[in-house]
């Protein structure tokens, strides 16, 4: 069976790695990389570290306004799908690459499978929220990471083709987490001891593009009075420069880092502060306290378990959330057993459709 997988951003590379490995044991996978993340630190390095096969199509779209970027992806993906005529199109998460892949497929009457279906932040100002909702309502197979995701789809009337499979990021952590810990050197090179520092990641526009919000986050990092390792997303670095904002003295800034270095830092950190969905989950799985710098999260289970706290007010609120006592018992395994990729491949094979007629545009 031929399956086209569409990725474009580093969280999708992580999710696709275990599924691609499982798929290629029995099926023919064609990999399309839209180029949404296009520099080496944001793309190529992840392919190398995760042993993802090189893409069959590298579209090189790059950054730009949402409408332009999604439109460019839609056109180029459609051309690839018409050439390949796959049985399924497999998309991940909630990026513009996800939506463009799903729309291109349904316009050509090719079935769509969505990995990480059913997530909702209920914040319609986020482009990701629109992407994930539209993709879920296009999809023929919806692979949910949690029961919460299944329930949220049911509340929208989506029950057909919905499967609880677990989170493929847990598969990736089980494969790469121990390797990252064994070969961790970055913290030592920075002169940091395990559990002697915090780790911060910021990339969402509502944090980076509002100078007042970004200033509050920097003030909060300063108030932690501990070293803070801060890999800078290109958007964040540009915002700091544009607004003339200086990093606090306790913040150690660096360029974006690879997946293994990031996992190693997460495991060694005493605290993580982030607006990333994936980093929230990784913190939970590593039993590292996490403060999410957002007004909401898709991963409500981590908040309910006490290992994740939302703090989107001023610096004092963030500092209070970080310094309040954290749980002492290990977190429950909320996100599956590390075999989500195998379940996804079995379900795709079982739903193998009759040959599709790919229509001309």
Residue 84 CB coordination number (10 Å): 18
Q: Which of 114, 203, 233, 339 is catalytic?
A: 203
346 in the same domain as 259: no
Given a contact cutoff of 8 angstroms between Cβ atoms, the answer to whether 166 and 337 are in contact is yes
Q: What whole-number percentage of the chain has pLDDT above 70? A: 95
Supply the DSSP string of 157-182, one letter for each residue.
T--TTEEE---HHHHHHHHHHHHHHH
Dist. CA 188–CA 3, nearest whole Å: 42
* pLDDT, position 357: 47
142 in the same domain as 45: yes
202 in the same domain as 160: no
Our measurement of the distance from residue 161's CA atom to the centroid of its chain's CA atoms, rounded to an integer in Å, reads 23
Pairwise pLDDT comparison (64 vs 7), residue with the higher score: 7
156 in the same domain as 203: no
Side-chain-side CA neighbours of 90 within 13 Å: the count stands at 28
Residue 219 CB coordination number (10 Å): 15
Question: What CATH number has the domain bearing residue 76?
Answer: 3.40.50.2000
pLDDT digits (tens, 9 = 90+) for 197-212: 999 999 999 899 999 9
pLDDT digits (tens, 9 = 90+) for 258-272: 889 999 999 999 999
Average pLDDT value over all residues in the chain: 93
| Mean pLDDT to the nearest integer, 185-190 | 90
Q: Which helix (DSSP H) or strand (DSSP E) does residue 230 occupy?
A: strand 228-231
Is pTM, for the whole model, over 0.85? Answer: yes
Query: Whole domain around residue 277: which residue ranges?
Result: 185-323
- With cut-offs at 50, 70 and 90, classify the pLDDT of residue 42: low
pLDDT digits (tens, 9 = 90+) for 255-311: 988 889 999 999 999 999 999 999 999 999 999 999 999 999 999 999 999 999 999
* pLDDT, position 48: 78
In a domain, 80, yes or no: yes
Pairwise pLDDT comparison (124 vs 46), residue with the higher score: 124
Given a contact cutoff of 8 angstroms between Cβ atoms, the answer to whether 220 and 242 are in contact is no
* pLDDT, position 11: 87
Look at residues 351, 243, 361, 342 and name the one whose alpha carbon lies nearest to residue 24.
Answer: 342
106 in the same domain as 18: yes
> Could you confirm whether 163 is annotated as catalytic?
no
Question: What total number of domains does the chain contain?
Answer: 2
Residue 146 CB coordination number (10 Å): 22
């Amino acid at each position: 069976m031929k399956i086209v997988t569409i990725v474009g951003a580093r969280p999708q590379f992580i999710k696709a790695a275990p599924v691609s490995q499982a798929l290629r044991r029995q099926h023919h996978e064609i990999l399309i990389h839209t180029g949404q993340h296009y520099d080496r630190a944001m793309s190529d390095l992840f392919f190398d570290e995760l042993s993802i096969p090189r893409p069959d199509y590298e579209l090189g779209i790059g950054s730009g306004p949402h409408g332009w970027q999604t439109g460019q992806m839609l056109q180029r993906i459609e051309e690839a799908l018409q050439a390949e005529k796959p049985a399924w199109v497999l998309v991940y998460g909630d990026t513009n690459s996800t939506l463009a892949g799903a729309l291109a497929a349904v316009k050509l009457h090719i079935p769509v499978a969505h990995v990480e279906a059913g997530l909702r932040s209920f914040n319609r100002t986020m482009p990701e929220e629109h992407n994930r909702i539209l993709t879920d309502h296009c999809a023929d197979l919806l692979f949910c990471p949690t029961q919460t995701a299944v329930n949220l789809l049911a509340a929208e009337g989506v029950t057909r083709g919905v499967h609880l499979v677990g989170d493929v990021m847990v598969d990736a952590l089980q494969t790469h987490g121990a390797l990252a810990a064994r070969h961790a050197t970055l913290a030592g090179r920075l002169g940091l001891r395990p559990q002697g520092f915090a780790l911060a990641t910021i990339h969402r526009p509502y944090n980076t593009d509002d100078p007042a919000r970004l200033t509050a986050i920097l003030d909060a990092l300063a108030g932690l009075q501990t070293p803070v390792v801060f890999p800078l997303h290109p958007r964040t670095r540009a915002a700091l420069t544009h607004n003339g904002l200086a990093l606090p003295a306790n913040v150690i800034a660096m360029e974006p880092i690879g997946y293994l270095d990031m996992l190693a830092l997460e495991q060694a950190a005493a605290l993580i502060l982030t607006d990333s969905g994936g980093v929230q989950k990784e913190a939970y799985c590593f039993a590292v306290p996490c403060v999410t710098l957002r007004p909401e999260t898709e991963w409500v289970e981590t908040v309910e378990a006490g290992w994740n706290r939302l703090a989107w007010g001023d610096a004092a609120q963030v500092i209070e959330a970080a310094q309040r006592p954290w749980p002492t018992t290990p977190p429950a395994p909320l996100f599956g057993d590390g075999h989500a990729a195998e379940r996804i491949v079995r379900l795709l094979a079982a739903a193998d459709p009759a040959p599709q007629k790919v229509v001309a545009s």
